[in-house]
Structure 1
Amino acid sequence: MSQLSIDSLSKAYGPVQALRDMSFEVRAGEIFGFVGSNGAGKSTTMRIVLGVLAADSGEVRWDGRPLDLHVRRRIGYMPEERGLYPRMRVGEHLVYLARLHGMSRTAAVAAMEHWTDVLGIDARRGDEVLKLSLGNQQRVQLAAALVHSPDILVLDEPFSGLDPVAVDVMSQVLRDQAAAGVPVMFSSHQLELVERLCDRVGIVRAGSMVAVGGIDELRSTPERRWEVDGPAPDDWLARVPAARLVSSEPASGSSAGTGAARRSVVEVANPDLADVDQELLAAALAAGPVREFARVRPSLVELYRHVVSSDESPAASDRTPAEVTA
């Protein structure tokens, strides 16, 4: 199936290296979350995909071939800096954009009516864009990206400024597009939403892709953690030298007094140790009854903080991203 491939893109603005060998792919029928701090290179990458910027080196391909003008016309793009004409009415604006993509007037009107219905702005078709709320302008901007039935969706911060209802509407639209086989790529700082919505995620730091893969694969970090609800003695973990106590607090329903059950988070840094979970459980049981014993995986927010706060410079690193190809 067709996919969008970003291969070793580099881009500099004078002395500032905006992208360093940026590589990843967005597969047909998947939603790909593109996350990173401000200035990490997300928008620059998207603009190169669109052909708005030229890369210093590297290539963007669709279905194994370099992107040409025909393919780029089949991309639905939503820029971070909204590009609507404020004095145009919503309906005529969307018809105008559809016509620019080569659609007949009849098809353009039908597409406008469909997407304004889906996005809940059908009652605003006759309103000037500038008279809409920020959230409704955002919906019009998404409709503009969708009105020509694109083969690829590239959305820069599409959820910025939306209320929860609008987020739900837009999320469902992206799911529907992916289900129809469209590769969907979007950037966002709302990591809980990214974790909930995306099939795969790429984390960017200082112009380089430092981690890319499925949510579950990215959360399977080398440091293994367990949550233990049970033994109260502080020294029970001494039986497992490879483990360290990350946190400990009174368990739910327990008082803070001596002998009270505690909920502890334990970490083992060496992923190669066999049966360490059995050692931990045995040590906990030897110290007292265990009510719960479970593996803990970091959230995308925790993983992101760890990755972007790393002291190691991407330019100096000889490691490849934590990539999952399955």
Structure 2
Amino acid sequence: MPALQFDHLRKAYAATVAVDDVTFEVRPGEVFGLLGPNGAGKTTLIRMLIDIIAPDDGRILLDGRPLAPADRDRIGYLPEERGLYRKEKVIDILIYFGMLKGLARREALARSRAWLERLGLPEVAGRRADSLSKGMQQKVQIAGTLLSGPEILVMDEPFSGLDPLNTVLVKDLLRERRDVGALVILSTHQMPMVEELCDRVAMIDHGRLVLYGDLEEIRRRFGESAVLVGTSADLRGLPPVASAEPQGRLCRVVLRDGARPSDLMAILQERRIPVEHFEVARMPVEEIFVRTVRARGPAPAPQPLAAQAGMGPRA
């Protein structure tokens, strides 16, 4: 399975630059997290991948060559918005989705029934889409996305509307696609899912790539800014401490920018504060996300079109 590369992509809408010189790679056999706040540019990147819009500059490469129209049939895309034909029968919708990806009708029917069975929905085949619950509709959309066995799988908020049992089911499906070598792109605001599923991530903010790489390496990079301390003392107000909150029997201390765990330990020893436990904690992905976005501040004001002329990087 070839790698997928986003190479210096840029896209502007009038005076707003939605994607600004973004470069990253998605590898076979991984779940790749595409993260960012609302309006960051994630959806624009996905739309360029599935050929709904064209980039103003840059390229999308598959195995080192520009993505061709024929390659789009190798992509399965689950949009965040519901994309079902509300008044049609579920089985007819799925057959149609399969045929759009090049399956013969007989094969599309067989696969549709198999996926409905796999997702626990065999009884809804003859029902209209608008008669289903939100969670059922989401599972039907997931079936339609997986129907053709896509080599590149793009899932935008796939857990929306799902109960805990079906959330586990969908997580297992994503891991299965990863394990057979597919490229799986997960776009979500549910950071616990990112921690559990993703091997590598790219974070977009104001159209720019602000974090990219192995998730564990990123967490190590941020890891020394939080410490779990076992003490009955109130640690708020100590020089290295940005915040201190109870976490079970421990206190979770977030250090100020530039402070290290050794600085906190030195203060504790200097002030003779009794400590029963001291552990450098891995920062949750959600906190990394929030810190990164806040550090960048608000989006810059749109520029006049004349000021943008010639700004795009060249591939």
**Partner Cα separation in structure 1 for residue 77 and residue 184 of structure 2:** 10
After superposition, where does 1:153-168 map in structure 2 within 5 Å? 153-168=153-168
Query: How far has the Cα of 1:54 moved from its partner?
Result: 0.4
Partner of 1:26: 26
**Partner Cα separation in structure 1 for residue 10 and residue 229 of structure 2:** 46
Query: How far has the Cα of 1:221 moved from its partner?
Result: 3.4
Q: 2:282 aligns with which of 272, 297, 311?
A: 297
CA contact (8 A) 2:10 2:20 kept: yes
- Matching of residue 88 in structure 1 with residue 88 in structure 2: yes
Partner of 2:255: 267
Query: How far has the Cα of 1:19 moved from its partner?
Result: 0.6
**Partner Cα separation in structure 2 for residue 166 and residue 11 of structure 1:** 36
After superposition, where does 1:306-325 map in structure 2 within 5 Å? 306-311=291-296
Partner of 2:141: 141
After superposition, where does 1:163-312 map in structure 2 within 5 Å? 163-221=163-221, 224-230=225-231, 232=233, 244-248=240-244, 263=251, 265=253, 267=255, 269-270=257-258, 277=262, 280=265, 284=269, 287=272, 289-311=274-296
Query: How far has the Cα of 1:286 moved from its partner?
Result: 8.4
Q: CA 1:85 to 1:252, structure 2 compared with 1: closer, same or farther past 3 Å?
A: closer
CA contact (8 A) 2:4 2:63 kept: yes
Query: How far has the Cα of 1:281 moved from its partner?
Result: 6.9
- Which deviates more from structure 2 when the two are superposed, residues 220-229 or residues 162-171? 220-229
**Partner Cα separation in structure 1 for residue 110 and residue 207 of structure 2:** 41
After superposition, where does 1:35-184 map in structure 2 within 5 Å? 35-184=35-184
- Which deviates more from structure 2 when the two are superposed, residues 92-101 or residues 8-17? 92-101
Query: How far has the Cα of 1:58 moved from its partner?
Result: 0.7
User: Structure 2 counterpart of 1:55, which letter?
Assistant: P
Query: Structure 2: which 5+ residue stretches go unaligned?
Result: 302-315
Q: CA 1:106 to 1:234, structure 2 compared with 1: closer, same or farther past 3 Å?
A: closer
CA contact (8 A) 1:231 1:287 kept: no
What's the TM-score once normalised by structure 1's chain length? 0.82
Query: How far has the Cα of 1:228 moved from its partner?
Result: 2.5
**Partner Cα separation in structure 1 for residue 231 and residue 269 of structure 2:** 7
SS at 1:73 equivalent: helix
User: Structure 2 counterpart of 1:75, which letter?
Assistant: I
CA contact (8 A) 2:75 2:152 kept: yes
CA contact (8 A) 2:33 2:187 kept: yes
**Partner Cα separation in structure 2 for residue 172 and residue 312 of structure 1:** 37
User: Structure 1 counterpart of 2:240, which letter?
Assistant: R
CA RMSD of aligned residues (A): 3.0
Query: Structure 1: which 5+ residue stretches go unaligned?
Result: 238-242, 254-261, 317-326
Higher Cα Rg, which structure:
1
CA contact (8 A) 2:240 2:263 kept: no
SS at 1:58 equivalent: strand
**Partner Cα separation in structure 2 for residue 214 and residue 116 of structure 1:** 34
Partner of 1:8: 8
Aligned residues: 300
User: Structure 2 counterpart of 1:60, which letter?
Assistant: I
**Partner Cα separation in structure 2 for residue 34 and residue 125 of structure 1:** 33
**Partner Cα separation in structure 1 for residue 134 and residue 286 of structure 2:** 27
CA contact (8 A) 1:77 1:145 kept: yes
**Partner Cα separation in structure 2 for residue 281 and residue 71 of structure 1:** 58
CA contact (8 A) 1:229 1:251 kept: no
Q: Greater relative contact order (Cα 8 A, min sep 6): structure 1 or 2?
A: 2
**Partner Cα separation in structure 2 for residue 233 and residue 189 of structure 1:** 33
